[in-house]
A and B are shown apart, each in its own frame.
Chain A
């Protein structure tokens, strides 16, 4: 069966410091991968998605970047964190199926607090 991992689970970082959040998927190949942010009291916002190694699409302009160095690894980064980067970051994956019937499955999330 497929599993998705995220780490760390919780992170407290000072403003201006760098960030690296990691997401890995097991038990599948060639997944679509996604990064979402959930700010307190708000819904989920899609940040990035990837359909393959090195292929990243950004949904909103922001202080963050994403990379996909391996098929089942998705990394969210920042060179200098802002206070507004605080939130709950969720990674998700979906299989690549004909007809677009794939479903997205979410990881456990990373709680980021920027002080």
Chain B
């Protein structure tokens, strides 16, 4: 079984300062990990994904995440926050169902990012 824990339910940063959203995972297998972003009343948009290639993954809108197996972490970062980054962010781990079945996702509880002017 797999699980994912987002360590902060709310993060507040000033515009232009770095963003760090923390995520720890638990998986019996080599995991596939994702970060999705959800703006108010919108669907989820994929930011980036890790699928056992490079441990530092670059995504859209300047976000990146580093897979650290020793720490079982997949934290999301951005060097400089923008007002448009204000949204809810979900860390997600994909389950190891056998090929031919639908791959199930386990979602974290989400982190609400507020960007202050």
Q: Is the CB of B104 within 8 A of A98?
A: no
Tell me the bound Cα distance from A34 to B92 in angstroms: 15
B102 touches which one: A42, A49, A98, A111 (CB < 8 A)?
A49
Q: Is the CB of B108 within 8 A of A43?
A: yes
A-B contact count (CB 8 A): 57
B103 touches which one: A44, A94, A107 (CB < 8 A)?
A94
The answer to whether the Cβ of B100 comes within 8 Å of any Cβ in the partner chain is yes
Tell me the bound Cα distance from A50 to B103 in angstroms: 10
Q: Is the CB of B51 within 8 A of A101?
A: yes
Chain B hits for A49, CB < 8 A: 102, 104
Known: A105-B46, A109-B42. A100 touches B107 (CB 8 A): no
The answer to whether the Cβ of B117 comes within 8 Å of any Cβ in the partner chain is no
Chain B at the A interface: SS class: loop
A42 touches which one: B51, B94, B109 (CB < 8 A)?
B109
A88 vs chain B, min Cβ distance (A)? 8
Tell me the bound Cα distance from A103 to B31 in angstroms: 13
The answer to whether the Cβ of B45 comes within 8 Å of any Cβ in the partner chain is yes
B5 vs chain A, min Cβ distance (A)? 11
Q: Is the CB of B42 within 8 A of A103?
A: no
Known: A103-B34, A106-B36. A46 touches B105 (CB 8 A): yes
The answer to whether the Cβ of B84 comes within 8 Å of any Cβ in the partner chain is no
Q: Is the CB of B49 within 8 A of A103?
A: yes
Chain A hits for B74, CB < 8 A: none
Contact with B along A69-104 (1 / 0, CB 8 A): 000000000000000000010101010001111111
Known: A43-B90, A44-B90. A102 touches B46 (CB 8 A): no
Tell me the bound Cα distance from A51 to B104 in angstroms: 12
Q: Please list the residues of chain B having a beta carbon within 8 angstroms of any beta carbon in chain A.
A: 32, 34, 36, 41-46, 49, 51, 90, 94, 96-97, 99-105, 107-110
Q: Report 25 cross-chain contacts, Cβ distance below 8 Å, ordered by A residue.
A: A42-B109, A43-B90, A44-B44, A49-B102, A49-B104, A51-B100, A51-B101, A59-B104, A90-B43, A98-B99, A100-B99, A100-B103, A101-B32, A102-B103, A103-B46, A103-B49, A104-B103, A104-B105, A106-B36, A106-B44, A107-B43, A108-B42, A108-B43, A109-B41, A109-B42
